[in-house]
A and B are shown apart, each in its own frame.
Chain A
Amino acid sequence: MTDEALRGRAWLFGDDISTDHIAPGRLFHLRTDLPQLARHVLEDARPEFAGEMRPGDFVVGGRNFGLGSSREHAPRIIKLAGAGAVLAQSFARIFFRNAINVGLPVLQCDTSGIGEQDELEVDLAGGEVRDLTTGAVIPFVPLPPVMVTILADGGLVAHVKMHGGFDLPEG
C-alpha cells in the first residue's frame, strides 16, 4: 500500500451502483480489451464520468457499491481509468474482494457529507479522508488484516507467487 496521500475530485454516484452500471453486459465483447472497456467505465450511471474524470479522482458511492455480478473487470477498469480509490458507505462482498485482489483501494466511510467535485485527500496509512472543500475529516473502516496483507503484497496473484501459496493472518 502506498504511503502517499491520494488527491483528487469527488464524483458522486449514490446508492446501489451495480457492476452493470460499471461494466455493462452490452459491452461484453470489450472484456478482453480492458483499456477500451475503461473508456466506458460507469457509463450507465454517469455518462460524462469516463470522459471528464482526471487521474486520481475518486468514485464516491452510497450504500452497497458494486452489487451484482462477479465480473472483476469492474474494479479493474475503475483502476485503469485512473481513479485513486472508491469511497462508499458499504460495498457488495464480491466487488470488495475483487478490488483488493487487483489493487484498487476501497474505503468504507461516511460519504454522506461529501459534495460533488469536492477536493479530497485520502491518507491510506492514516485511515482518513480529508474533504479539503468542506474541511471535514472522515475516518474510514480499517481493512481486515488479511486484505491489508494481500494489498501490501501487490494483489492476490503476487501474494501467492511471493509465498508459494497462501500466507495470511487469521483475523
Chain B
Amino acid sequence: MTALTLAEKILAAHAGLDAVVPGQIVIAAVDVAIAQDGTGPLAIEQIEELGSARLKAPTCVFFIDHAAPAPRSELANAQKTIRAFCASSGATLSDVEMGVCHQRVAESYAKPGDLVIGADSHTCMAGALGAFATGMGSTDVAVGMASGQTWLRVPESFRIEVTGELQDGVEAKDLMLTLIGTLGADGATYKALEFGGPGIDALPMPGRLTLCNMSVEAGAKAGLMPSDDSTRAFLAALDREADWRPLAADPGASYERVVEVDAAAIVPTVSRPHAVDNTAPAAALKGTRVDQVLIGTCTNGRLEDLRAAARLRRGRRRAPHTRLIVTPASQAVARAAAAEGLFDVFWDAGAVVTNPGCGACVGIHEGILGDGEVCLSTANRNFHGRMGNPGAFIYLGSPATAAATAVAGEITDPRELL
C-alpha cells in the first residue's frame, strides 16, 4: 500500500482509485458545492447554459452573505435571481440572516473526508474538518453542481508540523500570519498545506478553521487538518456527531516540504498594507494610529474570537478616534454571543454590532474606509482597495490584537492589556 497524504487519500477516494500521485489529473465526485451572492449569479447562468435538468452534486448551497441585506438595487436583483434558482432547482438557500458561507459550511455541511468546492477562494476553510476543500470560479462550480464531478490536479503537499502551544494572548491567527510571512503570498501556490503535530492536536477547531481559511493567502489549493477528537467534539456540539469519522495521513506519506513551527515562540503578528505576507510583530507597530477596527469575517468571527476580543474590552471603551465594528460570522455565533452577554460588552465599549455576514471585509457596505484611513481588521486580506477605498490602509491581526488596538487607538500588542 502506498502511504498517502491527507489530500491524496481524499482525492483518491473521490476518484474511485486506490492511490493517486501529485501531478495526476483526476475526475472526482463532489460532495458539497457552494456559491455566494457575488459568484452565484454567474454560476447560475452557466448551469442554465449547460441545460442540466437537475443538480447532481449531493449538497448544493447558495449563500447570500457578501451584501446581506442588499445595500443597493442591483444587488437586490442579483439576490432575487439566486432565490428563484434555489426554489426551482432544489439547491439550498442560506439567506441574508444566516451568515458567511464558510462558517455555515463548517457548521452545517462539510464532513471529514468530503470533497468541497466553492465559488469563493476561502472555501479551503472546510479543510479544518478533514475535508479536501478548494476555491474555484463560478464556471467550475456550476459544472460541479450540475454534473456532480470536477477535475483536479492532485497537489503536492507541504507538511506544516506544529510543536508547542500558543501562549496567552497569542492566537492561531498570529501563527498563520507568521507562517504566511515565511512562505510568502505565492510560496505554496498549487500545493496542499497539511497541518499536524502536537501543536495541532492541542488546537481546538476554531483555531484550525482560521489556519485552513488563510491557506489560500500563501497560494495553496487547500489546507487540511486530521479529523480527530476535537473534530468530533465540534460536530457533536452541533448535533452532528454522526457525520464524524477519524481521518489522518498515512505514516510515511511523502511531502514536498516540511515546515516546522514552534507555536510557543509565536508573538502577536500583524500584516501591513497591502500584502498579507508583509508581516511584523504587533509590538513593532506601536504608534500606528487606527481609525477603524473590524472584528469578524470568516477568518475570525467565531464565538471564541468574540470572547477573546471581549476579554480585553470588559470595562474599557474604544479610543475616541477609533470606530469599532463587530460582525459575527453566523447567526449561530451571534445568538450564542448575545446569550453570553458579549454584545453588551461590545456596546458598552462603543462598538457597532452588525448583522452576521461578510460585512465590511470586501468593501461593499457596513464599514467602507475613507481616504487615507487606517483599519486594523481580523480578516484574511489587506489588498489595495479591499475595504472599498484604494486610498485606505489595512492591517490584519488577531481578535485580541484588534480589541487592544481599539482600546489604545493605535496598533497594540494585546499582551500589554492582559
Residues of A whose CB lies within 8 Å of any CB of B are: 16, 18, 20-21, 24-26, 28-33, 44-45, 63-64, 67-73, 90, 92-94, 97-98, 101-102, 144, 146, 155-157, 160-161, 165-166, 168-171
> Do B49 and A28 have beta carbons less than 8 Å apart?
no
Query: Is B140 located at the chain interface by the 8 A CB criterion?
Result: yes
Docked Cα-Cα span, A162 to B384, in Å, equals: 40
CB distance from A115 to the nearest CB of B (A): 24
List residues of chain A with CB within 8 A of the CB of B41: 31-32
> Closest CB of chain A to B181's CB: distance in Å?
14
CA–CA, A63 and B77, complex, Å: 37
- The residue of chain A having its C-beta at the shortest distance from the C-beta of B190 within the complex is A93
Cβ distance B188 to chain A, nearest Cβ, rounded Å: 10
Which of B141-149, B224-232, B240-248 interfaces with chain A?
Answer: B141-149
Interface pair B384/A29, CB less than 8 Å apart? no
Bound-state CA distance A26–B67 (Å) is 11
| B54-75 interface with A by 8 A CB criterion | 66-67, 72, 74-75
A-B pairs with lowest CB-CB distance, top 4: A72-B137, A25-B363, A98-B137, A29-B74
A44-B385 Cα distance, complex, nearest whole Å: 7
On whether A67 and B42 interact (CB within 8 A), knowing A29-B75, A72-B138, the answer reads no
Asked if B384 and A64 sit within 8 Å, CB to CB, the answer is no
Q: How far is the CB of A12 from chain B (nearest CB, A)?
A: 17
Q: Produce 1/0 per residue, B185-202, CB < 8 A to A.
A: 110011000000000000
Q: List 25 A-B contacts (CB under 8 A).
A: A16-B185, A16-B275, A18-B383, A18-B384, A21-B385, A24-B385, A24-B390, A25-B386, A26-B364, A26-B388, A28-B66, A29-B75, A29-B364, A44-B384, A63-B186, A71-B39, A72-B42, A90-B189, A92-B189, A94-B121, A94-B136, A102-B139, A156-B139, A157-B143, A168-B25
Our count of residue pairs bridging A and B at CB distance below 8 angstroms stands at 150
The answer to whether B33 has its CB under 8 Å from any CB of chain A is no
Do A70 and B119 have beta carbons less than 8 Å apart? yes
A31 vs B72: C-alpha distance in the bound complex, in angstroms?
13
- Sample of 19 further A-B pairs with CB below 8 A, known A45-B384, A72-B139: A16-B275, A18-B381, A21-B383, A24-B388, A26-B389, A29-B75, A31-B41, A31-B78, A32-B81, A64-B186, A67-B186, A70-B137, A72-B138, A92-B189, A93-B189, A94-B137, A101-B137, A155-B139, A160-B143
Q: Does B46 contact A (CB under 8 A)?
A: yes
Which partner residue on chain A sits nearest B364 by CB separation? Answer: A28
From B46, B219, B384, contact of A20 by CB (8 A): B384
* Contact assessment for A21 and B364 in the assembled complex, using a CB-CB cutoff below 8 Å: no
Is the pair B151, A69 in contact by a Cβ cutoff of 8 Å? Answer: no
Q: Cβ of B388 and Cβ of A25 under 8 Å apart?
A: yes
**A residues near B135, Cβ cutoff 8 Å:** 70, 94
In contact, A171 and B39 (Cβ under 8 angstroms): no
Which has the most chain A C-beta neighbours within 10 Å: B275, B384, B388? B384
Q: Which residue of B lies closest to A18 (CB)?
A: B383
**Contact partners of A63 in chain B: CB under 8 A:** 186
